[in-house]
Structure 1
Amino acid sequence: MEALSTPKYPVGAQKWILIITAISCAILELIDSTIVNVSLREISGNIGATTTEISWVITAYSIANVIVIPLSGMLSNLFGRKTYFTASVAVFTISSLLCGLSTNLWFLVLWRFVQGLGGGGLLSTAQSIIMDAFPPEKRMTGITIFGLGIILGPSFGPVLGGYITDHLSWHWIFFLNIPIGITASLLSWRFVPDLEGVEKPLIDWWGILFLVIGIGSLQYVLEEGTAKDWFESADITRFFIAAIIFLVAFVIRELSIDHPAVNLRLYRNFNLAMGSLMNLVVGIINIGTLFVFPLFTQIALGWTATQTGAFMIPGTMVAIVGMVLAKKLLEAGVNPKVVILSGLSLTMLFLVIMSYSSPDSSASNFFWPFIIRGIGTVMMIMPVMDLAVAGLTGKTLAQAVGLSNMLRQLGGAIGVALMNIYINHENAFVRGNMTGNISEFNSESTDRLAAFIQLFINQGYDTYEATGAAYRLLDNSLTKQQLLVSYNHGFLFVAYTLLICVPVILMIRYKKGQKKKEVIADAH
């Protein structure tokens, strides 16, 4: 049991050094989850890897992340929060150096996996450190600070990666972490406190084994499913079956023993369960749309990676305004369901506007939709994060934070997988419909083809060459329109999917003036 004495909170400079150290580490971890994406082509060419092989640089990091995040609460209690957090920073920093020095694909994949293990420990432990730095009545400030980190990290990753790759080399994507990591290690050892009254837990080896195999297999399925054509692949089928079996075994195990690796009993409380479910949804929306937009602009509209990343910065920065607004509303006693539904409505508005994009769309057409998205996403994230850890402190807070972060990470993987499936299906469907309109019986298509042929003849091609070039140009035009329509449908698909969240949000139990300690009375 946790100590019943009055908890002590850091004050003054010590408090803010602690918070800056923790949020810097969380942002560093989140940046590294996306910074590599835009550099994969250069990395693969440099180390001689195929397009399929190089995807393991991302997959290894994601699998390690999602395995260690739910265990971070137990590991923090086992080794002490100061030791565990400092060790996580050190592991992340050393593996970053070794990633940058790698000259072989599988060495890079190995050290990315180790980096993911360190990074997973940083994310959840940083959140619990920040929240434990504030008394319950001021915890919304801690949630705001951490929320800023989870918005900034994934958004700045691609533009930072693009800039470094264009002006230095891909190695510096990893070397950049080293001075920050060394500084954070020293500050962590000096300022991060251990939790008081926490006994070393008994190690639930079976629970850990079931979780590692189950969640690792599920993440592999989500990361590699699209590339391997899902259940047409024997590997994907085997890993999916393993995920189901071991996750069911994990849940049964954790609910049937006195000292579980992950305390699932916390989610007997309805609001905590709803908050965690919404965390999954937020991950699907946030990462799913961040995944689609760069593909949409670069493939359908011809933007560069650096252009795309730079464009997203203003929408990210305005999220700070949304955080302040959400914080004020929640602290004023506004029903969190109203705040979440407002954020949901703004996010849906963003998606609907994006679904009307055209070949002539430019950055000016997307500026205000992304401002709306920045505010809307934050207004969803803030109350959801509060619900997911409502009233928890100490080791129970660390457990809930680990689970909620794992669900948000899984939500991101699910969002990317769903968008891949939908876009691929729409590409085939839209192209089939469009191709049917290109025939000798359609005057518009024959006029367009004749104009292309004449254009190439005027440039000196003979009739045979001009006809071939005209058909290729027509096919390129068709492909561009097909992709544009498919991505538009994808945005609209996500908007409609968000309607599923409405009944979940309405089921959240809330009474004005409700004390947070009452919120989790039935969680123990």
Structure 2
Amino acid sequence: MEGKNTNSKKWILVITAMACSLMELIDTTIVNVSLREISGNIGASVAEIGWVSTAYGIGNVIVIPLSAMLATLFGRKRYYAVSVLVFTIASLMCGISSGLSELILWRFIQGVAGGGLLATSMSIVLGAFPPEEAKTAMLIFVLGVLLGPIFGPVLGGFITDTLSWHWIFFVNVPIGIVCTWLAWTSVSDLEDAKRPPKIDWAGILFVAIALGCLQFVLEEGPLHDWFDSRKICFFFTVSMLGFVAFIWRELTTDYPAVDLKLYKNFNLSMGNIIGLLYGIIANSTLFIFPLLAQQSLGWTATKTGAFMISGGIAGALTMIIGKKLFPDANPKILITSGLILIVVSLIPMGYISPDANETHFFWLFIIRNAGASLLAPNMMSLSVGTLRGKELAQASALSTMTRQLGGALGIAIISIYTTINSATVRYPLVENVTEYNWMVQERLVYLEQSFADAGMSSDGAQLAAHQMLENTVAGQQIFVTYINGFLGMAFLFIFCIPVIFLIKTPKKDKENVAADAH
């Protein structure tokens, strides 16, 4: 355990880390619902305004793997407190920005500072407790990780509707000031951390190029038809070359910016694989549900966001109740149970009908989030629970990076999947819409008559009837595509189960406990 922390100080650390992470994670999604108003206010096009989110994601993912090295270089206390302060200042500057370039710059800086918060917070929480107590602390910390992306869009929509888009950034300022003070007064430096004799500038450059370009590809790919775009092909190639150079550099230098040799730890390797898959599957399902609800079921954005809160609360309650009922349960059993619950919730979503309402989804989302609450904290603690000190900080950063990349990959994968599947789904739908199908002809006659009765000419009524029929087919096409996405993700979750049982459960012996106490 790091230092001689009293119980009160340990829980102050947990609250500080959770508040900082919650603030950072909310900001990853809070802006999305306000992009339309921001674009109109500052005179940016739809394509240009997307960079407000992209810049944040690029800054975020670049700094995450470097956070352990930066914490060692500057001292964890100083690095963490300064990250909160810079995040707060950047939030203020985003709120008072009057132009697109200015807003994108401050969003990038905000993302850089936020990446340091997310990666360092987990190591602070785990490092403050001995292994036998760390699971409880991690459960509370993960509440922020799970609830942030859920509350972000709802909070963003509410603030934008009642105040203005500027306040989605201003709201961070008072919270950030309090968090900066808490970070400076409660976070301590790592006892075994020593400033490296040399800074791995080449490694920092390579990882920035690799992750920055990859994040650009994942966020901008859907807007540019992926690899049909020369720009996307260029940045993807640069990213892959950057990864090759980064891996070679980190495995051959004596003072790496990111210690990739930690992947020799079997649990960390397997945990990161599960984390990557979880990020892919969880984010992809959360990405397509709002699209299904709003495009096919006719829900408003506010209704969609409010609906998803109930599932988040259910997940939080499941964490608390699960800890009370199964304090000493095997984490692999809990993780597997979580996966099964998620699969059980996703499969019925793949067979939902077009006239479904919120009652059809309510219990399915309760079950899904209950499963996620069993999976996420146990997965984190199992993959890095055997590490301490400097190794824990590096492992936490690597685990956070893989989950972040998994989330971005998930959205990219589901976008590609729905595009391809949409074309596949359309054929069996349109082959039945022919002049030889009496039901189709009867529908067309009814529609033409309705438009004619409304005052349209004969040709206009016929054209409008065919257009409405085409819109109906397109709506069905979108609906079937999305529910197929739920089924596809359910089967991917099933493939995670064998990986879980490869992870080794840490042994709780006296020797290890004594070692951790120091």
Q: Please classify the TM superposition score into its range, dividing by the shorter chain length.
A: over 0.9
| Structure 2 runs not aligned, ≥5 long | none
Equivalent of 1:302 in 298, 304, 307: 298
Match of 1:352 in 2: 347
Match of 2:277 in 1: 281
Report how far residue 501 of structure 1 moved. 1.4
**Count of residues in Structure 1 that have an aligned counterpart in Structure 2:** 514
Q: Does structure 1 residue 475 correspond to structure 2 residue 474?
A: no
Report how far residue 278 of structure 1 moved. 0.8
Superimposed CA distance per residue, residues 450-486 of structure 1 (whole angstroms, 9 cap, x where no aligned partner): 1111222233333222222212221222221111111
Letter paired with 1:429: T
Report how far residue 438 of structure 1 moved. 1.4
Match of 2:255 in 1: 259
Find the aligned partners of 2:213 and 2:427 in 1 and give their Cα distance.
Answer: 35
Match of 2:371 in 1: 376
Find the aligned partners of 1:368 and 1:180 in 2 and give their Cα distance.
Answer: 34
Equivalent of 1:464 in 459, 464, 474: 459
Q: Does structure 1 residue 213 correspond to structure 2 residue 209?
A: yes
Deviates more, 1:435-444 or 1:304-313: 435-444
Inter-CA distance 9–311: structure 2 relative to 1 (3 Å threshold): farther
Letter paired with 1:303: W
Match of 1:3 in 2: none
Deviates more, 1:14-23 or 1:243-252: 14-23
Q: Does structure 1 residue 113 correspond to structure 2 residue 112?
A: no
Inter-CA distance 459–205: structure 2 relative to 1 (3 Å threshold): same
CA contact (8 A) 1:391 1:516 kept: no
Q: Does structure 1 residue 56 correspond to structure 2 residue 51?
A: yes
Q: Does structure 1 residue 17 correspond to structure 2 residue 15?
A: no
Find the aligned partners of 2:329 and 2:350 in 1 and give their Cα distance.
Answer: 35
Find the aligned partners of 2:484 and 2:193 in 1 and give their Cα distance.
Answer: 51
TM-align CA RMSD? 1.9
State the secondary structure of the residue aligned to 2:348: helix
CA contact (8 A) 1:391 1:517 kept: no
Find the aligned partners of 2:147 and 2:306 in 1 and give their Cα distance.
Answer: 13
Match of 1:448 in 2: 443
Equivalent of 2:267 in 267, 271, 292: 271
Find the aligned partners of 2:322 and 2:380 in 1 and give their Cα distance.
Answer: 12
Find the aligned partners of 1:421 and 1:508 in 2 and give their Cα distance.
Answer: 31
Match of 1:31 in 2: 26
Q: Does structure 1 residue 435 correspond to structure 2 residue 430?
A: yes
Find the aligned partners of 2:481 and 2:333 in 1 and give their Cα distance.
Answer: 33
Match of 1:103 in 2: 98
Find the aligned partners of 2:510 and 2:65 in 1 and give their Cα distance.
Answer: 27
Report how far residue 311 of structure 1 moved. 0.2
Find the aligned partners of 1:69 and 1:21 in 2 and give their Cα distance.
Answer: 19
Superimposed CA distance per residue, residues 385-421 of structure 1 (whole angstroms, 9 cap, x where no aligned partner): 0122122122111111101000000000000000000
Find the aligned partners of 1:407 and 1:14 in 2 and give their Cα distance.
Answer: 30
Find the aligned partners of 1:272 and 1:197 in 2 and give their Cα distance.
Answer: 20
Superimposed CA distance per residue, residues 260-313 of structure 1 (whole angstroms, 9 cap, x where no aligned partner): 111111110211100111111111122111111111111111111111110001
Q: How does 1:141-180 map to 2 (within 5 A)?
A: 141-180=136-175
State the secondary structure of the residue aligned to 1:318: helix
Find the aligned partners of 2:263 and 2:51 in 1 and give their Cα distance.
Answer: 34
State the secondary structure of the residue aligned to 1:225: helix
Match of 2:495 in 1: 500
Deviates more, 1:342-351 or 1:405-414: 342-351
CA contact (8 A) 1:9 1:135 kept: no
Report how far residue 326 of structure 1 moved. 4.7
Q: How does 1:39-78 map to 2 (within 5 A)?
A: 39-78=34-73
Report how far residue 329 of structure 1 moved. 7.1
Inter-CA distance 16–390: structure 2 relative to 1 (3 Å threshold): closer
Superimposed CA distance per residue, residues 78-108 of structure 1 (whole angstroms, 9 cap, x where no aligned partner): 1111110111011111111111111211111
Letter paired with 1:79: F
Match of 2:241 in 1: 245
Report how far residue 171 of structure 1 moved. 0.9
CA contact (8 A) 2:135 2:378 kept: no
Report how far residue 333 of structure 1 moved. 4.0
CA contact (8 A) 1:333 1:513 kept: no
Find the aligned partners of 2:326 and 2:201 in 1 and give their Cα distance.
Answer: 41
Report how far residue 327 of structure 1 moved. 3.8
Report how far residue 109 of structure 1 moved. 0.9
Inter-CA distance 15–513: structure 2 relative to 1 (3 Å threshold): closer
Inter-CA distance 328–396: structure 2 relative to 1 (3 Å threshold): farther
Equivalent of 1:234 in 230, 237, 249: 230
Match of 2:188 in 1: 193
Find the aligned partners of 1:409 and 1:451 in 2 and give their Cα distance.
Answer: 51
CA contact (8 A) 1:327 1:382 kept: no
Letter paired with 1:337: K
Equivalent of 1:138 in 126, 133, 141: 133
CA contact (8 A) 1:390 1:516 kept: no
Inter-CA distance 511–137: structure 2 relative to 1 (3 Å threshold): closer
Letter paired with 1:194: D
CA contact (8 A) 1:133 1:142 kept: no
CA contact (8 A) 2:14 2:141 kept: no
State the secondary structure of the residue aligned to 1:460: coil
Letter paired with 2:293: T
| Structure 1 runs not aligned, ≥5 long | 1-5
When normalised by structure 1's length, the TM-score is: 0.94
Letter paired with 1:14: K
Match of 2:410 in 1: 415
State the secondary structure of the residue aligned to 1:415: helix
Letter paired with 1:322: T
Superimposed CA distance per residue, residues 138-167 of structure 1 (whole angstroms, 9 cap, x where no aligned partner): 010121122111101011001111111111
Letter paired with 1:270: F
CA contact (8 A) 2:2 2:190 kept: no
Find the aligned partners of 1:79 and 1:360 in 2 and give their Cα distance.
Answer: 57
Find the aligned partners of 2:263 and 2:369 in 1 and give their Cα distance.
Answer: 30
